[in-house]
Chains A and B, each alone.
Chain A
Amino acid sequence: MTLDWLGLFPESIRLILLKLPKAMLDHLEEIRIREERPLEINAAGRHHFLDRDGGLSLHPGEAYKPTREDTRRLLDLISNHSLYTMEEELRKGFITIPGGHRVGLVGRTVLSGGRVEHIRDISGFNVRIAKEIRGAADEILPFLLDRKRGRVMHTLILSPPQQGKTTLLRDLARQISYGSWGNAQLQWPGLKVGIIDERSEIAGCQRGVPGFDVGPRTDVLDGCPKAEGMMMMIRSMSPDVLIVDEIGRPEDAEAVNEALHAGISVIATAHGSSIQDIGGRPALSALVQQRRFEMYAVLCRKGHERSYKLYDGGQRTLQTAGAGPPGGDAYA
């Protein structure tokens, strides 16, 4: 596990993080920095406050409190000393940094015409560490293959935030693109994969080049709105499989429909903890009712335990399984 993201912290915070045990550092999921309030980390689904010596505690009283200077430096470093180039990112509320890690920002918003123009006085940061876990999709991928027709099924992956949707999606893209199907008898070649990466999370692109290994036959449309991106991909890049994160708006559903009719397999994710959950969202529920998806995968995690359930298009349970590779929070 590389710790490339450590260089982006101001020295005071970096030294505290370096005092953490190696195992903890490797499994960090989030580092939350709030000006003049306790420094918090999330690892393996649990939160801790950090004191000056890297000690963990659940009591905020003893924790290190990042100063104004700390937050100012952090912002300077994560914006590559150029906050003025981040107007679009500030409108969306997060910055993607090298390595595909994402930093969420809060502060005082500046409005223009009723919409958020950008964020000023940024005082709260949530650094989400992206992980490339090869093999995260090993368990699920064999179920997503339509062996008769030699294609990947239309799949919707559901899970609440922080359960590993994006990590799973990234590994699916990689394995489909390489043609490693987790089955020695299957001699299919790799397929053309198109990723619409609206928030630069799946591929972690820097200047258009993926930071993660997403496979040799994968094209990434970085920072593009999903609905528009899907249409652009279909028209210009002739993908076999389209991969898209967090669909939910009506235009997304429309674009998914378009892709299905063009004979392209779609693997999408959505927030939710069960298929019933998305019934309340008109755009998605229409897709469910029309049986557009052939497979649903629902991820869930309790502490270190991680599991998934698979349902077919008619919402019948196909498979319920526990953890995959060791390291319970592989989907972090």
Chain B
Amino acid sequence: MLNLIGAILVLAAGTLAGFYQAHQFALRPRQLRELILALQRLETEISYGFTPLPDALERIGGGLKEPLKTLFIAASDYMSPDYGLSAEDSIRKALNMHWRRTSMKTAEKDVLDRLSGVLGTSDRQDQIKHIALAVGQLQHEEAAAREDQAKYEKMSKSLGLLIGALIVILIF
């Protein structure tokens, strides 16, 4: 009897792990899309609104879903004069604190890292070019993420169950 309960637990754990992995594959393109839209909004705020960077990030963050919302708002908070941080430091700090809550990978983080070094440091045309470049790179990542999702989402679900089954078989 105890054996049976153990086997069911292992199977359930394997299945859940598989579903979690599949969920991550589904979330990544969704968050990437949201990030791209956010950067495009930032471009508009800079080119037409002349909005200062901290205000723009806060405003954009307010309209986003978690976990990107916290990321943007934290970056904006760190830019307040109390911290004495530069824009680059503020964004890096927010990335280090909150990136792990997203489903995105290091490739996307690198894009934002590079962007943080130039945000706010040049005239509008220059800013727009840098943001467009970052958006381009993210779109590339998004396409790859969608491919991964198509390839691995279902497979992860089955794989979780199968690995659970394998462990049960090996144990007994």
Contact = CB atoms under 8 A, between A and B. Distances in A.
Contacts of A76: 86-88, 120-121
Interface stretch (A83-91, A123-131, A259-267, A286-294): A83-91
A8 B79 CA distance: 12
Given A7-B84, A80-B53, A81-B54, A87 B120 contact: no
A295 to B, nearest CB: 42
Given A7-B81, A76-B120, A85 B51 contact: yes
Given A76-B121, A87-B123, A118-B123, A82 B84 contact: no
Interface string B140-151: 000000000000
Contacts of A90: 123
Residue among A79, A82, A87, A118 with most chain B CB within 10 A: A82
Contacts of B123: 83-84, 87, 90, 118
B68 to A, nearest CB: 19
A73 to B, nearest CB: 5
Contacts of A87: 123-124
A203 interface: no
Contact of B86 (A14, A81, A85): A81
A77 B122 contact: no
Interface residues of B, number: 22
B52 interface: yes
Nearest to B46: A84
B127 interface: yes
A104 to B, nearest CB: 19
A237 B119 CA distance: 40
A84 B56 CA distance: 12
B81 A81 contact: no
Interface in A1-30: 7-8, 10-11, 14
B90 interface: yes
B127 A81 contact: no
Interface string A63-81: 0000000001101110111
Given A75-B121, A76-B121, A118-B123, A81 B84 contact: no
B46 A81 contact: no
A77 B121 contact: no
B51 A83 contact: no
Contact of B87 (A11, A81, A118): A81
A82 B53 contact: yes
A70 to B, nearest CB: 11
Nearest to A119: B123
Interface in A123-142: none
Contact of B120 (A8, A10, A11, A79): A79
B120 A84 contact: yes
Contacts of B88: 76
22 contacts: A7-B81, A7-B82, A7-B84, A73-B86, A75-B121, A76-B87, A76-B121, A80-B79, A81-B52, A82-B52, A82-B53, A83-B120, A83-B122, A83-B123, A84-B46, A84-B122, A84-B124, A84-B126, A85-B51, A85-B52, A87-B124, A118-B123
Interface of B: 46, 50-54, 79, 81-82, 84, 86-88, 90, 119-124, 126-127
8 pairs of A and B residues whose beta carbons are closest in the complex: A81-B87, A82-B52, A81-B120, A76-B86, A81-B53, A82-B53, A84-B124, A85-B50
Interface of A: 7-8, 10-11, 14, 72-73, 75-77, 79-85, 87, 90, 118
Given A8-B81, A81-B86, A90-B123, 14 more contacts: A7-B84, A14-B84, A75-B121, A76-B86, A76-B87, A77-B84, A80-B53, A80-B79, A81-B52, A83-B122, A84-B50, A84-B122, A87-B123, A118-B123
